[in-house]
Amino acid sequence: MTIVYDGDCPFCNNYVHLMALRKAVGNVDLIDARTADPTAKELAERGYDLNEGMVAIYGGKVYYGSDAVILISSVTNAETWLARLVAWLLRSPGRAKFLYPYMKFGRRVTLRILGKPLI
């Protein structure tokens, strides 16, 4: 599994680490979309706006935005009560698609407060 996310966003960063993916799926490549990583660059060139959503690549398929969090939350091996709650909330397509715009808004506000530019 490969996950491309905003490494400067505290929520994004905490989410990908909270989900304990390595225990669930084995090898996981975490890629900060702010770096010059070729995968992030290729995704941007293919039209994935990494300011609008994270990307998960799994089984040769690209999952974007709410679909990425649904996938991540569905395969997680969450150990803490907080991780289990977040995974439960976001593994439901209905809840994830409803919550994802609010999550993006919270990310933008947080980045602005922290003085960080968008990707």
Asked if the structure places residue 15 within a domain, the reply is: yes
Asked if the structure places residue 119 within a domain, the reply is: no
Asked if the structure places residue 92 within a domain, the reply is: yes
**Structurally, how many domains does the chain consist of?**
1
Domain range enclosing 73: 2-114
Q: What is the pTM of this model?
A: 0.90
Given this model, what pLDDT does residue 4 score? Answer: 96
Query: Does residue 66 contact residue 32 with C-beta atoms inside 8 Å?
Result: no
41, 42, 52, 68 from 58: Cα distances, Å: 18, 16, 19, 10
The 10s digit of each residue's pLDDT in 12-69 is 888 887 777 777 787 889 999 999 999 999 999 999 999 999 999 999 999 999 999 9
Query: Does residue 72 contact residue 16 with C-beta atoms inside 8 Å?
Result: yes
* Closest among 19, 29, 31, 33 to 111, alpha carbons compared: 33
Asked if the structure places residue 38 within a domain, the reply is: yes
